Amino acid sequence: MLETLSLDGKTIVITGGGTGLGREMTLAMARAGADLVVAGRRTGPIEEVAGLVRESGRRALAIATDVTDSSQVNRLFERALGEFGKVDVLFNNAGIVRGQGNTPIWEITDEDWRLGIDTNLSGAFLCSRAISKHMVDRGTGKIVNVSSGFGLRGGRHNYMYACAKGGIVQLTRALATSLGRYGVTSTCIVPGFIPTQGTDESRMELPRGDFIPIGRVGYPRELGPIAVFLASAASDYMSGEMFAIDGGGLAGGYAPTGHAPEIPLEV
């Protein structure tokens, strides 16, 4: 049974793979046998992670890419295909949290809105568009998207992020229903609160461990096993679905709207 979790021989492209959750997913998938193409805007973090992948005995390529720019996205996949000849799995993980959940709607500029939607939603669309025909022609492929608990519920002053992450859930469903019969699946990871550089910079109202049913926030490394599972043959019959990894947060454990701490709990 465990051999179905092996990623030996698979080529995986991951966006935002240089830091935070993407870094841990990349390293876990390399340990499971995959070759990785790591994309992000800054070269420092993606080069470092690609180096760690190579040290673990797998092949890796770091390609500086802004996922909001379709010409850069197309070039990313041309280079990945040029180097590895195929792409088995795409991880749409790049996103920004910074400036996404702390501004009243009347203060949000056109630029704020476009940046939030372009980074957190359009980038995943552009990457999926660029590689899906290749996957369809091969009759096999997986597109794994990263949404958020805010993709499934609202949050105070949370517009671009929540709208884009909700869009990611729908992108997953659209890809799954459109490409399934060509052998291509799409699934969606829904992380809860897992402190990273991205969340440190967000200035969002973030839940404390007390509000999470299992009593603590998550660790980035805890994303590794679910990434391996969703990239592997073990998840071949799963498509169009969301997989929450949030310590039970969506079950109602932490303040769902950002208002609950202001409401006294009386028994």
Ligand X SMILES: NC(=O)c1ccc[n+]([C@@H]2O[C@H](COP(=O)([O-])OP(=O)(O)OC[C@H]3O[C@@H](n4cnc5c(N)ncnc54)[C@H](OP(=O)(O)O)[C@@H]3O)[C@@H](O)[C@H]2O)c1
The minimum distance between CB 94 and ligand X, in angstroms, equals: 3
The minimum distance between CB 43 and ligand X, in angstroms, equals: 8
According to CB under 6 A, which one of 128, 132, 186, 196 is a site residue for ligand X? 196
Among positions 70-99, residues that touch ligand X (CB under 6 A) are: 93-97
Map residue 116 onto helix, strand or coil.
helix
Among positions 101-130, residues that touch ligand X (CB under 6 A) are: 119, 123
For CA atoms 213, 208, 27, 133, give the dihedral sign: positive
Contact between 143 and 185 (Cβ < 8 Å): yes
199 interacts with ligand X by CB under 6 A: yes
Strands in 60-64's sheet, in edge-to-edge order, are 60-64, 35-40, 11-15, 89-92, 141-146, 184-191, 242-245
The minimum distance between CB 3 and ligand X, in angstroms, equals: 29
According to CB under 6 A, which one of 50, 63, 67, 135 is a site residue for ligand X? 67
Ranges of beta strands (E only) in 97-238 are 141-146, 184-191
224 interacts with ligand X by CB under 6 A: no
For residue 40, the surrounding DSSP H or E stretch is strand 35-40
Contact between 32 and 6 (Cβ < 8 Å): yes
CA 250 – CA 128 distance, rounded (Å) = 27
Q: Which stretch binds ligand X (CB under 6 A): 15-23, 106-114, 207-215, 247-255?
A: 15-23
Rg (CA), the chain: 18
Residue number, 202 or 232, with CB nearest to ligand X: 202
Question: Which residues lie closer than 8 Å to 51 by C-beta, 6 or more apart?
Answer: 60
Closest residue to bound ligand X by CB: 20
How many of the chain's residues bind ligand X (CB under 6 A)? 31
Residue number, 6 or 197, with CB nearest to ligand X: 197
| Phi, psi dihedral angles at 56 (to 5 degrees) | -85, 5
CA 162 – CA 144 distance, rounded (Å) = 18
The minimum distance between CB 30 and ligand X, in angstroms, equals: 16
Q: Which stretch binds ligand X (CB under 6 A): 30-38, 63-71, 180-188, 250-258?
A: 63-71
65 interacts with ligand X by CB under 6 A: yes
CA 23 – CA 49 distance, rounded (Å) = 7
Residue number, 35 or 66, with CB nearest to ligand X: 66
Residue number, 73 or 140, with CB nearest to ligand X: 73
The minimum distance between CB 189 and ligand X, in angstroms, equals: 8
Q: Which stretch binds ligand X (CB under 6 A): 125-133, 177-185, 188-196, 208-216?
A: 188-196
Concerning whether 161 is annotated as a catalytic residue, the answer is: yes
Bridge partners, 238 (sequence order) = none
Residues within the interface to ligand X (CB under 6 A)? 15-16, 18-22, 40-42, 45, 65-68, 93-97, 119, 123, 146, 148, 191, 193-194, 196-199
Catalytic residues: 161
